[in-house]
Amino acid sequence: MTTASLEPYVIVGSEDDDAGIQEILKRSSLRARDKPSPEDSVSKRKKGAVKFTGPDFTRTYSTFDRNNEATANSPFHGFFTLFWMAVFLAMVKMAVENWKAYGSPLGRNEIMSSMFRRDVAVLLAADAMMCALTGVCWLLQRAVLAGHLSWDRSGWIIQNVWQMLFIAGVVGLTLVRDWPWSHTVFFVMHGIVMLMKQHSYAFYNGHLSTAYKNRADLISRLGWLAKTAPARSPSNTQPPATAVSTSHLASTPSAHNLMKRRSSLTPRPSEIVTDRPSTGEDKRGECDIDKIAEAIKNKEPMDADQVAVFEKVLRWEVDALTEELKGKATAPERAYPNNLTLWNQCEYNLLPTLVYELEYPRSHSVSWAYVAEKIAATVGIIFAMIMISQSSIYPVVMKTIEMKETGVPLPERFRFFPWMLSELLFPFMLEYLLVWYLIWETILNGLGEACRFADRSFYGAWWNSVSWDQFARDWNRPVHNFLLRHVYHSSISALKVNKHTATFITFFLSALVHELVMWCIFKKLRANGPEQNKMATRQGYVGKYGVLVWDFYMPERALQPVLDPVAPTTGR
């Protein structure tokens, strides 16, 4: 046996390992002092931000799903049926008029012809290749697990470089092939979805790889402690280890609390609470485990009591890391690193979520009748959108282009502009609503049912929004959840910024992605995204009249795509 002098302990570990031990002891010291009195308010006990918090996936149905009992029993459910009756009758009217004028229910069918004129097979092949390339992030995580790469050093850099190359390749292919707008919209949007999925998969598993490595190191240190004899003479450090309070180590460790502890080790100055008076218990807590950490730092020998306390601290940390590696998994085979299989990564790519978790709530079986219903609804809505565009939007847009190409003076084109907007306002708003319903109600629900994904909260009651942030949160829940975890919370925990700065970063990144999509379609920038960002920060002007604000906001969003190609015609 060797003595428990810290010199042998230092030999088996690197400087980074010793720094990790000091961090563990610091966290344990913080836990020992974390005994707030009942009269302490929650606001005084500021918590550190957790990097990978939320969302909480639950079994739920979307608002307009026929299986949603709350919506089915609502007295306003009839308006939903009335809306689709109105859409159906409008489609019948358009089809009859087109048949009478052109002999076809789709009229001249220019839009359908442009969508399927060329490169359909190339588009499908490119999309399949794009999905296959997401396996690169799986290979990277396997390399990290095998020890060939360190996620905290080179792994995350390689992942970010790959993500930039990935999205550049997606955008570049649309330019090289000179695809029509329909091909471009589908491919770029799907590429952005795959990019977000890769980011969530890689960074969450990369975080778990660090926890897995730390856990393995602590287990090896515990094995070393078991083979080490304590020093024969008691340590001279004060207080003695027998006086150290270890009651906080008796509680079951929580991965969530562990992550918050890590983020609170370097609190921001604005988060330091100074209005709580220090007590004798606090001062004693400061010199308990802290003294042991000081002894380790100075390479002093540990006596039997100190070794026992140190072992308790390490075992608590190992248990906490084990809980963190388990995440939301209910079975060990789904915990890290057992989740790093090609099937798991492919399955995640199919699920209608942008946030990676070790396990999601699942339905017991698949209702293929429900899937067929959603497929039929998808096809029907697409045809309805084509008919509306062909009958009410395409002729107006072509008229504006004709006026420009024939040299109509600019003042006359400006006089025509208000009438053009009035003709486009309603059909574009209807198209906007149909696009939203097509994606978030039919496609995502059908995909969720086919994959047995039980959390169908793809959107909230955005039509009742009274603020811009509520509208952005409820309009598109999958993207909101991604931005919340990987941009907002990550900015706070990694960059140590406050909530307002993190909110600005989140909206700014969202605006950049929006402008990228608009540029890919129209090859010009309008900077509407940053304007929305500024509007989102002016909630003081919204208040109870916010519902009126988004009423005016929706027509602008609906008309935005048509205003871009018309911009040269109108002099904008």
Which residues are part of the catalytic machinery? 514
Q: Are 342 and 135 in contact (CB under 8 A)?
A: yes
The region, left, alpha or beta by phi > 0 then psi within -120 to 50, assigned to residue 62 is: beta
What is the rounded CA–CA span in Å between residue 173 and residue 179? 9
- What DSSP line would sit under 124-175, residue for residue? HHHHHHHHHHTHHHHHHHHHHHTTSS-IIIIIHHHHHHHHHHHHHHHHHHHH
Q: Letter for the amino acid at 193?
A: V
Which residues fall within 8 angstroms of residue 452, CB to CB, at 6 or more apart? 362, 363, 364, 365, 366
> For residue 228, what is the DSSP state?
B
- Residue linked to tokens 């218990």: 281
Residue 44, burial from CB neighbour count under 10 angstroms (0-12, 13-18, 19+): exposed
Which residues fall within 8 angstroms of residue 440, CB to CB, at 6 or more apart? 62, 458, 459, 476
Q: Are 269 and 217 in contact (CB under 8 A)?
A: no
- Residue linked to tokens 């396990």: 359
